[in-house]
């Protein structure tokens, strides 16, 4: 039952919440709004309620339809929006408007519920959307159902005035769809859950050793070969044998470009930006399985069925055709995703092959590089030029600092906060995602009671205690910390309900940290 699946995490988070986030009995919203003033009484939404748009602005229309559709899906009153005028605004009504003259912060909103009116005013379309999310959390919990449960529910909303806006502009959730593949319906559900808690960035880890998940028209073997592995799902991740000769690769899947466009639009309707990640130069053996000419040795390779760590076979840094491949792939990626960022991975590149490869060593010599760390930096800087040529900004894991950071790169600090501190001091933007607070693939309770996980321990309480701004930074440097993100790597997380179990309630705690 969808209702319970939505509500349970909220209840749990409320129960386990610190006083810091405690609210009144009537008003319980996650993440906690900045200012709440309770007012006596309730507003009842019923079939006679008007829903009024103060203007025909695209954001107002989209948000109004979203609210009407959410109510309808939950079996609530079916409301038909109309434009506000001097007459209808006097009736019992929900009124949606924008105030984008800077009085309300861009992602902020004011929500005023009185017995006769509900006013939702956003500082932007996103702000209006968050005002609606707060309103939905004030409604009876059945609002989260899409099953048209019991009729006869009173859609009562406690009266209050709420002023709210986020602390950070970047509020992220990541999902690895390579280690296990999750179909587009689950991606939409993940986006819905994010939207409920006002998270605004979905980092979609689309490629990794165990499967390539995005259709690239120019390289069909990426979806014919790289997207599939021999199915050893019955064995523990680290004990799976490599695909044998003649063995069929049957586990996998990918998103067609039409799927991607559909999901990008779905996210846009919820004011979520999707940052696509295409891993390079490492975490790319699935590419080499289809195109061994991009490796240092020539292969052959198969798509790993589990983990053989480290994966020493990575893209060759001495082969210009590798950069042509990257350029072609990123051309299609940039056309599909409106996000200003493309994430190029950059993490955990084992240098074994580069040290032994004549082409890589020639590159080191020709470019006057000192070592393979500088070769990695050469690689990433060259990729940044490609990313910029597509009108995008590059973001990468903190290893991209090694050997010298690319000029305009944004850094995702995961091996602790040190990388983030160094990057911010150099004037680069940073997203904080340290393992100790943000790796939601770590188990959240005592290991004997939890499903097998990759290791690590990250209980809910610890997520609540996270502070993304390092004290070491000056206030000017702190401005480069755009926000924080939780990562869900899926080696040990094979199915959607397990992703939800890992994400929730910890995402609710992170939403309190970043909002």
Q: Which of 208, 313, 399, 429 is catalytic?
A: 208
Edge to edge, the sheet with strand 93-98 lists: 35-45, 155-164, 109-113, 117-122, 93-98, 50-53, 82-83
How many chain residues are in contact with Zn ion, going by CB under 5 A? 6
Residue recorded with tokens 């004990």: 239
3-state secondary structure of 204: strand
Spot the catalytic one: 161, 328, 348, 402.
348
Q: Which residues have CB under 8 Å from 188's CB, separation 6+?
A: 263, 266
CB of 362 to Zn ion, least distance (A): 9
Instruction: Give a three-class secondary structure readout of 73-132.
Output: HCCCCCCCCEECCCCHHHCCEEEEEECCCCCCCCCCEEEEECCCEEEEEECCHHHHHHHH
Residue 422: CB minimum distance to ligand ACM, A: 16
In the list Zn ion, ligand ACM, none, the entry touching 318 (Cβ below 5 to 8 angstroms by class) is Zn ion
Cis? peptide before 31, omega within 30° of 0 = yes
Q: Pick from ligand ACM, Zn ion, none: which does 296 bind, CB < 5 to 8 A by kind?
A: Zn ion
Q: Among ligand ACM, Zn ion, none, what does residue 316 contact (CB within 5–8 Å per kind)? A: Zn ion
Element (H, E) at 45: strand 35-45
Of the ranges 296-304, 340-348, 381-389, 472-480, which one interacts with Zn ion (CB under 5 A)?
296-304
Q: How far is the CB of 353 from ligand ACM (least distance, A)?
A: 19
Rounding to the nearest 10 degrees, give the CA dihedral for residues 473, 475, 481, 482.
170
For ligand ACM, the binding residue among 341, 414, 492, 515 (CB under 6 A) is 414
Of the residues 174, 232, 283, 428, only one is catalytic, namely 283
Between 280 and 316, name the residue whose CB sits nearer to Zn ion. 316
When binding is defined by CB under 5 A, the residue of 272, 360, 460, 499 that contacts Zn ion is 360
Q: Is 192 in the site for ligand ACM (CB under 6 A)?
A: no
Q: Pick one of Zn ion, ligand ACM, none as the site partner of residue 182 (Cβ within 5 to 8 A by kind).
A: none
Check binding of 348 to ligand ACM (CB under 6 A): yes
Considering CB distances under 5 to 8 angstroms, the limit depending on partner class, which of ligand ACM, Zn ion, none binds residue 36?
none
Residue from 126, 357, 409, 473 binding Zn ion (CB under 5 A): 357
Nearer to ligand ACM, 354 or 489 (CB): 489
In the bound state with Zn ion, the residue whose beta carbon lies nearer, of 13 and 360, is 360
| 283: annotated active-site residue | yes
Q: Which helix (H) or strand (E) holds 60?
A: helix 58-73
Q: How many CB atoms lie within 10 A of CB 115?
A: 13
The single residue among 328, 347, 374, 402 that binds ligand ACM, judged by CB under 6 A, is 347
Q: Which is nearer to ligand ACM, 119 or 492 (CB)?
A: 492
Please, which residue, 16 or 454, has the CB nearer to ligand ACM? 454
Q: How far is the CB of 456 from ligand ACM (least distance, A)?
A: 11
- Answer whether the bond into residue 300 is a cis peptide, omega within 30°: yes
Strand ranges inside 123-269, DSSP E = 155-164, 170-176, 201-205, 207-208, 211-212, 228-229, 251-252
Among 296, 369, 507, 514, binds Zn ion (CB under 5 A): 296
Give CA 34 to chain center in angstroms: 23
Inter-residue contact 219 to 329 (CB < 8 Å): yes
Q: Identify whether the C-beta of residue 158 lies closer than 8 Å to the C-beta of residue 138.
A: yes
> Please, what is the minimum distance in Å from the beta carbon of residue 416 to ligand ACM?
12
Question: Minimum Å distance from CB 426 to ligand ACM?
Answer: 20
Task: Report if residue 359 touches Zn ion, rule: CB under 5 A.
Answer: yes
With binding defined as CB under 6 A, does residue 397 bind ligand ACM? yes
Check binding of 442 to ligand ACM (CB under 6 A).
no
Contacting residues for 475 by C-beta, under 8 A, at least 6 apart: none
Q: Does 318 bind Zn ion (CB under 5 A)?
A: yes
DSSP 408-446: T-EEEE-SSSHHHHHHHHTT--EEE--HHHHBTTSBSS-
Q: How far is CA 498 from CA 123, 195, 437, 452, in A?
A: 36, 19, 19, 11
Instruction: With beta carbons less than 8 A apart as the criterion, state whether 251 and 234 touch.
Output: no
Choose one: 59-67, 194-202, 356-364, 453-461; the region binding Zn ion (CB under 5 A). 356-364
Residue with Cβ nearer ligand ACM (205 or 428) = 205
Print the binding letters for residues 114-153 with ligand ACM: x by CB under 6 A, - otherwise.
----------------------------------------
Asked if 279 is an active-site residue, the reply is: no
**208 belongs to the catalytic site:** yes
CA distances from 423 to 30, 43, 466 (A): 31, 49, 20
Q: Which residue ranges make up the site for ligand ACM (CB under 6 A)?
A: 347-348, 397, 414
Q: Which residue ranges make up the site for Zn ion (CB under 5 A)?
A: 296, 316, 318, 357, 359-360
Point out the residues that are catalytic: 208, 283, 348
């Amino acid at each position: 039952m969808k209702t319970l699946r939505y509500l349970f995490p909220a209840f749990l988070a409320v129960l386990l919440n610190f006083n810091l986030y405690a609210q009144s009995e009537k008003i319980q919203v996650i993440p906690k709004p900045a200012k709440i003033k309770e007012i006596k009484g309730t507003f009842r939404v019923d079939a006679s309620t008007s829903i009024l748009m103060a203007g025909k602005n695209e954001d107002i229309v989209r948000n109004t339809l979203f609210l009407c559709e959410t109510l309808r899906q939950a079996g609530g009153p079916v409301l038909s929006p109309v434009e506000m005028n001097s007459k209808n605004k006097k009736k019992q009504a929900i009124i949606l408007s924008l105030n984008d003259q800077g009085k309300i912060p861009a992602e902020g909103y004011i929500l005023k519920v009185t017995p006769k009116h509900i006013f939702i005013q956003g500082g932007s379309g996103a702000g209006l959307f968050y005002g609606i999310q707060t309103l939905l959390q004030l409604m009876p919990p059945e609002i989260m159902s899409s099953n048209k449960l019991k009729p006869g529910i009173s859609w009562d909303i406690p009266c209050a005035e709420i002023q709210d806006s986020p602390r950070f502009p970047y509020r992220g959730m990541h999902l690895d769809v390579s280690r296990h593949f999750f179909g587009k319906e689950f991606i939409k559900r993940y986006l819905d859950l994010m939207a409920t808690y006002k998270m605004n960035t979905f980092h979609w880890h689309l490629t990794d050793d165990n499967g390539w998940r995005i259709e690239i028209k120019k390289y069909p073997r990426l979806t014919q070969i790289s997207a599939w592995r021999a199915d050893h799902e019955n064995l523990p991740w680290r004990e799976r044998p490599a695909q044998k000769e003649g063995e069929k690769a049957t586990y996998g899947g990918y998103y067609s470009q039409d799927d991607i466009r559909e999901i990008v639009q779905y996210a846009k309707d919820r004011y979520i930006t999707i940052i696509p990640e295409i891993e390079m130069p490492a975490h790319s053996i699935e590419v080499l399985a289809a195109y061994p000419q991009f490796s240092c040795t020539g292969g052959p390779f198969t798509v790993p069925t589990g983990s053989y760590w480290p994966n020493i076979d990575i893209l060759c840094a001495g082969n210009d055709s590798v950069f042509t491949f990257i350029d072609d792939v990123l051309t299609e990626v940039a056309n599909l995703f409106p996000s200003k960022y493309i994430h190029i991975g950059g993490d955990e590149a084992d240098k074994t092959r580069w040290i032994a490869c004549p082409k890589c060593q020639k590159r080191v010599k020709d470019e006057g590089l000192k070592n393979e760390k500088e070769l990695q930096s050469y690689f990433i800087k060259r990729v940044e030029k490609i990313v910029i040529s597509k009108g995008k900004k590059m973001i990468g894991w903190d290893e991209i600092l090694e050997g010298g950071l690319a000029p305009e790169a944004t850094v995702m600090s995961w091996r602790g906060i040190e990388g983030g501190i160094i990057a911010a001091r150099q004037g680069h933007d940073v997203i904080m995602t340290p393992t100790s607070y943000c790796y939601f693939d770590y188990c959240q309770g005592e290991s004997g009671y939890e499903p097998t996980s990759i290791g690590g321990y990250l209980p809910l309480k610890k997520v609540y205690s996270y502070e993304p701004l390092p004290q070491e930074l000056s206030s000017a440097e702190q401005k480069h910390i755009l926000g924080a993100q939780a990562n869900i790597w899926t080696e040990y997380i094979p199915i959607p309900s397990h992703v939800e179990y890992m994400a929730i309630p910890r995402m609710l705690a992170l939403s309190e940290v970043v909002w």
